[in-house]
Amino acid sequence: EFPILALNTAGLSTEETARAIEYAQNEGINHIDFHPGKENAGVAKFMKENNVDRDSLFLNTKIRKPVPGTSPEDAAKLARDQIEEDLQLLGVKYVDMLMLRDTPDPKNIQAQWKVLEEALAAGKTRSVGIINYCPSGLETLMETAQVVPALNYIMCHVGMGPDIQGLRTKNEKYGIRTFAYGQTGEPEPREALLNDPILKRIGEAHQKSTEEVALRWVLQNDMAASLRPSGNFGRCEGQECQVGLSRQVSCLEWELSQDEMAELNAIKYDDASPTPFSAYCPGSLVLKEGKWVPRG
């Protein structure tokens, strides 16, 4: 069973990742949504220092993108080697989910997905999914896939509509569930959303923040959500991180009315993309000189 809430450790240091997991567990969150590198090291640090029972955590990690020009054979080897390295670093025999990022080369998508299918068959992961796949990437992957991805992990927030610009319907065509990040925007909170008068009014009616309203909208549209631990993206420091997680978890305890959902569903931001961290999809971003800018 896929947990409805996850801790999103994106950008956290090793120490912050371990700290955020502790806070998350205190709030009942056991799904850890992390990336290779320092976040992976943070998960390993937490598990080792706290003598964690492996089955108490849902471990969800990602395969790195191959650099442009990588052959399908080398792309497959990179994925295979990373899986072994990550399992060794974490000190576990399996993770609960492996997610595949996209790449502009269709053959590399297909070659790496085959490696994830092999890992699933070998018991090195309990499930496989994809991250930031737009329709063209989905079609490429499904041309040769033997196993359908359990989910597509994409950005979803108020202003994109409950169908997420049609991508949710595309996912469901293949039997793929939608897993949401960026309930207030990415790679940083979206000011237009935080200051939206409709979200503010609804929040005041429930004595909730606009961030909480935004998350509740995602949950009430039947999507699991990955949570940044605080509004200070990429950091987990002290009370802000602890309180931030607690407030978000409390969104499971209240509901928006049908009229409020209809109002929020109708909001539209024309420049919002559900796959901002794709390697090539429309509206995707690229990191240059420490800043995220439109690709191309």
| Tens-digit pLDDT profile for residues 137-155 | 999 999 999 999 999 999 9
Angle (CA) 207-247-211 rounded to 5° is 65
Provide the pLDDT for residue 145.
Answer: 98
Across 234-250, average pLDDT: 93
Residue 200 has pLDDT above 80, yes or no: yes
* pTM to 2 decimal places: 0.96
- Token pair recorded at residue 228: 């940044």
Query: In the chain, which ranges are continuous DSSP H helix?
Result: 14-26, 38-49, 72-90, 106-121, 135-144, 167-173, 191-194, 197-206, 210-220, 238-249, 258-266
Residue 270 has pLDDT above 90, yes or no: no
Q: What CA–CA distance (Å, rounded) separates 277 from 287?
A: 10
On whether the CB atoms of residues 20 and 9 are closer than 8 A, the answer is yes
Across 105-120, average pLDDT: 98
Q: What CA–CA distance (Å, rounded) separates 125 from 123?
A: 5
Provide the pLDDT for residue 272.
Answer: 87
Compute how many other C-beta atoms are within 10 angstroms of the C-beta atom of residue 22.
Answer: 14
Provide the pLDDT for residue 37.
Answer: 94
Across 256-268, average pLDDT: 97
Q: What CA–CA distance (Å, rounded) separates 186 from 195?
A: 16
On whether the CB atoms of residues 91 and 121 are closer than 8 A, the answer is no
Provide the pLDDT for residue 173.
Answer: 96
| Tens-digit pLDDT profile for residues 164-197 | 999 999 999 999 999 999 999 999 999 999 999 9
Provide the pLDDT for residue 57.
Answer: 97
Residue 296 has pLDDT above 80, yes or no: no
- CB-side neighbour CA atoms (13 Å) of 56: 13
Across 269-284, average pLDDT: 92
DSSP H or E stretch at residue 153? strand 151-155
Residue 121 has pLDDT above 80, yes or no: yes
On whether the CB atoms of residues 24 and 43 are closer than 8 A, the answer is no
Q: What are phi and psi of 245, to 5 degrees?
A: -65, -40
Q: What is the pLDDT of the chain when averaged over all its residues?
A: 96
Q: What CA–CA distance (Å, rounded) separates 81 from 74?
A: 10
Across 247-256, average pLDDT: 97
Residue entry with tokens 């005041």:
204
First to last CA, the chain: 39
What's the pLDDT band for 290 if we cut at 50, 70, 90?
confident
Residue 199 has pLDDT above 80, yes or no: yes
DSSP H or E stretch at residue 277? none
Provide the pLDDT for residue 238.
Answer: 82
